[in-house]
């Protein structure tokens, strides 16, 4: 009896040990799955946040770049230099105020104003308002001091006069005897805050003081991201950067720490949408000494990790349970085999059942292997289908672009056949020359199509703008004559060399001219105007028609792929989308202004080639 009890005790201890090992394995599996799933979720969320921050950065830069030319334009204006020469002259002040008001009405910036060397504002675009800058002394502003020393300055602050925050772009106005003053443009960035708020993201821009200046949460504005020292707080208060109310002492994040290859932040507060634990991702903007911060809630990430951990733990428990059941089954079978010879038949039957079960298990394993292989093949098929879809879209764009050169080639071939039918004539030579140009263009387009599947190395190219416009007009000449359109082309006096592929630029101009011709096809007055305007760093080409115009509701989608305002069958809706991409890739831009019933104007801004800028003595002196 003592031996039997001792054996049972040992058996019980063994079962408890195995149960403890099994529980430990289940918990370890769940913990490992939790860590792997959470790390993967954090990495994936960080990648998505990086892409969103890059998009927001491009949007911010586009808004600021839109007004970057204003300080230079103000500095070069005769009205500006006149008021700085005699600031007490009321007539000169009135002229300068009017000039700044008109310039701001066209540009759409916040405010424009001119500062004398002593910091007094002598003219402003808001001269008529009760909170006008005129007469104010803003010499204490850092952007004034920096512009007087370095020539240019950028500064974000709350206006001490208007109480409205803005981004200040300042440029020193130089004269023959030294600095005459400073031209300042104030940009209101409320538009980008509104766009971010509509996106539903939780975003903050902090400046070099680690203070939030723009945010989708108004209550976060002008609060430090984390605690700042008393010395820094005193210095910031002296700059009046954040208005008369100053900087709020309560930081946005109570604590920030690194973990799992990312940064986490804990935000306090009663609002459940903006409090708790967040994944903190940032993008540095060295040009402005800013950082864009994205706060991603970690609740969904932890829920995903807990679900993965629970699933892995249940799978491990099920696996161990199956093993335990199989071991128990084997013990029962072995015990029945050893009990009695009379049970041999039953043991054989149960052994046969076990064999059948094993075969079914093997078949199930084989079936699962085949299913996994089918799944991998399906994934490869989806990747190939996505690639074919992209290739189809590219082919649709190429077909759209090739249709115009083919039409021109058909017209010239018809002309050549008519002349060839008569006696030999000297006009056939230029026609055949034109055909060679069209064939070369068609070969270039097919060459682009052949290189679609491989990654290309970008090669900087330059183009003579006059030649590009002449070639584009020559290729659509048949369409303009057939429609009865008069062309008014205002040529530039000198040679303009721009950055870009000449064939791509011709494609863009052909698309714009052809669209203008279609818009004027059924109207009594059909005039196509092409103008060229040279600025400091760019060249602007305007294509204006006298068509029916474009509705305001359609302007926002005008450059989207497959979007067209033409009748069905008249186009694929890819011309403007492709043109927009080609110009954007070389650092340019396409904009449109349209008045229903009066026509539309498309403006193509192209960057001047570096060699062309260096050859212009006025531009070189201005850049210095």
- The CATH number for 171's domain is 3.30.450.20
For residue 468, give both structure tokens: 């590009």
pLDDT band at 425 (very low <50, low <70, confident <90, very high): low
Angle at 416 between CA 410 and CA 421, to 5 degrees: 130
Mean pLDDT of 143-147: 87
The answer as to whether 542 is a domain residue is yes
3-state secondary structure of 238: helix
Last residue of a domain, one of 191, 223, 254: 191
Last residue of a domain, one of 161, 191, 221: 191
Of 56, 284, 287, nearest to 154 (Cα)? 287
Task: Name which of 83-87, 218-222, 357-361, 423-427 the model is least confident about.
Answer: 423-427
| Cβ neighbourhood burial of 454 (10 Å; 0-12, 13-18, 19+) | exposed
pTM: 0.43
Last residue of a domain, one of 191, 218, 253: 191
Partners of 276 in the β-ladder: 267
Q: Express each pLDDT in 222-269 by its tens digit.
A: 788 887 777 766 676 666 666 656 667 778 887 888 887 888 888 877
The answer as to whether 132 is a domain residue is yes
Beta strands in 222-367 (DSSP E): 255-259, 262-267, 276-285, 290-297
Q: At 187, which helix (H) or strand (E)?
A: strand 178-187
The structural domain count of the chain equals 2
For residue 221, give both structure tokens: 């504005």
CB 285 within 8 A of CB 58: no
Its domain, for residue 169, covers 77-191
Specify the CATH number for the domain of residue 511: 3.30.565.10
What was the pLDDT predicted at 216? 77
> pLDDT higher for 471 or 233?
471
How many residues does this entry show for the chain? 624
Averaged confidence pLDDT in the chain: 79
Instruction: Tell me which DSSP letter residue 342 carries.
Output: G
Residues of the chain with pLDDT > 90: what percent?
Answer: 8
Task: Name which of 39-53, 125-139, 366-380 the model is least confident about.
Answer: 366-380
The answer as to whether 293 is a domain residue is no
- Give the integer Cα–Cα distance in Å for 30 and 453: 44
Rg (CA), the chain: 37
pLDDT band at 615 (very low <50, low <70, confident <90, very high): low
Task: List all residues 6 or more positions away from 540 whose beta carbon is below 8 Å from its beta carbon.
Answer: 532, 533, 534, 603, 604, 605, 606
The answer as to whether 601 is a domain residue is yes
Q: For residue 516, is pLDDT > 70? A: yes
Of 149, 260, 147, 265, nearest to 212 (Cα)? 265
Task: Name which of 301-315, 389-403, 503-517, 519-533 the model is least confident about.
Answer: 389-403
> pLDDT higher for 550 or 410?
550
Q: At 542, which helix (H) or strand (E)?
A: strand 538-544
The answer as to whether 304 is a domain residue is no
The answer as to whether 199 is a domain residue is no
Of 496, 494, 536, nearest to 76 (Cα)? 536
The answer as to whether 530 is a domain residue is yes
What was the pLDDT predicted at 568? 61
Mean pLDDT of 607-622: 62
The answer as to whether 287 is a domain residue is no
Mean pLDDT of 89-116: 88
pLDDT band at 429 (very low <50, low <70, confident <90, very high): low
Of 579, 547, 545, 576, nearest to 563 (Cα)? 576
What was the pLDDT predicted at 114? 93
What was the pLDDT predicted at 413? 62
């Amino acid at each position: 009896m003592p031996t039997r009890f001792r054996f049972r005790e040992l058996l019980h201890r063994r079962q408890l040990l195995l149960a403890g090992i099994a529980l430990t394995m289940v918990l370890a599996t769940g913990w490992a799955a939790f860590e792997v799933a959470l790390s993967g979720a954090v990495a994936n969320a960080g990648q998505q946040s990086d892409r969103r921050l890059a998009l927001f950065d491009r949007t911010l830069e586009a808004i600021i770049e839109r007004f970057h030319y204003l300080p230079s334009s103000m500095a070069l204006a005769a009205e500006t230099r006149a008021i700085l020469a005699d600031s007490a002259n009321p007539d000169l002040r009135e002229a300068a105020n009017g000039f700044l008001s008109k310039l701001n009405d066209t540009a759409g910036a916040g405010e424009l104003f001119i500062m004398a060397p002593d910091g007094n504002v002598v003219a402003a675009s808001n001269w008529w308002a009760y909170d006008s800058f005129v007469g104010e002394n803003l010499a204490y502003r850092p952007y004034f001091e920096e512009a007087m020393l370095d020539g240019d300055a950028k500064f974000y602050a709350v206006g001490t006069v208007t109480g409205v925050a803005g981004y200040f772009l300042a440029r020193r106005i130089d004269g023959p005897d030294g600095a005459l003053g400073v031209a300042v443009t104030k940009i209101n960035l409320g538009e980008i805050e509104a766009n971010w708020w509509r996106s539903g993201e939780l975003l903050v821009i902090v400046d070099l003081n680690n203070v939030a200046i723009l945010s989708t949460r108004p209550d976060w504005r002008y609060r430090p991201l984390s605690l700042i020292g008393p010395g820094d707080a005193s210095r910031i208060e002296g700059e009046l950067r954040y208005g008369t109310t100053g900087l709020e002492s309560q930081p946005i994040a109570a604590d920030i720490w690194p973990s799992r290859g990312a940064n986490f932040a804990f935000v306090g507060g009663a609002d459940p949408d903006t409090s708790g634990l967040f994944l903190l991702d940032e993008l540095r903007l060295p040009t402005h000494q800013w950082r864009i911060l994205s706060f991603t809630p970690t609740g969904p990430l932890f829920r995903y990790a807990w679900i993965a951990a629970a699933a892995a733990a249940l799978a491990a428990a099920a696996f161990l349970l199956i093993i335990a059941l199989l071991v128990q089954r084997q013990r029962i079978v072995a015990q029945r085999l050893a009990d009695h010879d009379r049970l041999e038949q039953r043991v054989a039957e149960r052994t046969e059942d076990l064999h059948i079960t094993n075969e079914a298990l093997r078949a199930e394993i084989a079936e699962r292997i085949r299913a996994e292989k089918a799944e991998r093949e399906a994934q490869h098929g989806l990747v190939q289908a996505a690639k074919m879809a992209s290739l189809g879209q590219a082919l649709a764009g190429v077909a759209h672009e090739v249709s115009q050169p083919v039409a021109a080639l058909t017209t010239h071939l018809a002309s050549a056949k008519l002349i060839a039918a008569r006696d030999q004539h000297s006009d056939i030579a230029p026609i055949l020359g034109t055909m060679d140009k069209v064939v070369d263009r068609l070969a270039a387009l097919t060459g682009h199509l052949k290189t679609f599947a491989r990654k290309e190395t970008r090669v900087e190219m330059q183009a003579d703008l006059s030649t590009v416009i002449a070639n584009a007009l020559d290729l659509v000449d048949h369409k303009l004559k057939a429609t009865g359109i008069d062309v008014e082309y205002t040529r530039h006096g000198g040679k303009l060399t721009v950055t870009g592929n000449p064939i791509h630029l011709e494609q863009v101009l052909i698309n714009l001219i052809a669209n203008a011709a279609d818009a004027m096809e059924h109207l009594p007055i059909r005039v196509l105007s092409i103008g060229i305007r040279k600025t400091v760093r760019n060249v602007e080409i305007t294509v204006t028609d006298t068509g029916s115009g474009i509705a305001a509701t359609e302007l926002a989608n005008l450059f989207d792929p497959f979007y067209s305002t033409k009748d069905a069958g008249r186009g694929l809706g890819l011309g403007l989308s492709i043109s927009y991409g080609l110009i954007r890739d070389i650092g340019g831009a396409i904009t449109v202004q349209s008045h229903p019933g009066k026509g539309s104007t498309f403006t193509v801004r192209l960057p001047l080639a570096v060699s062309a800028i260096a050859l212009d003595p006025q531009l070189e002196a201005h850049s210095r």
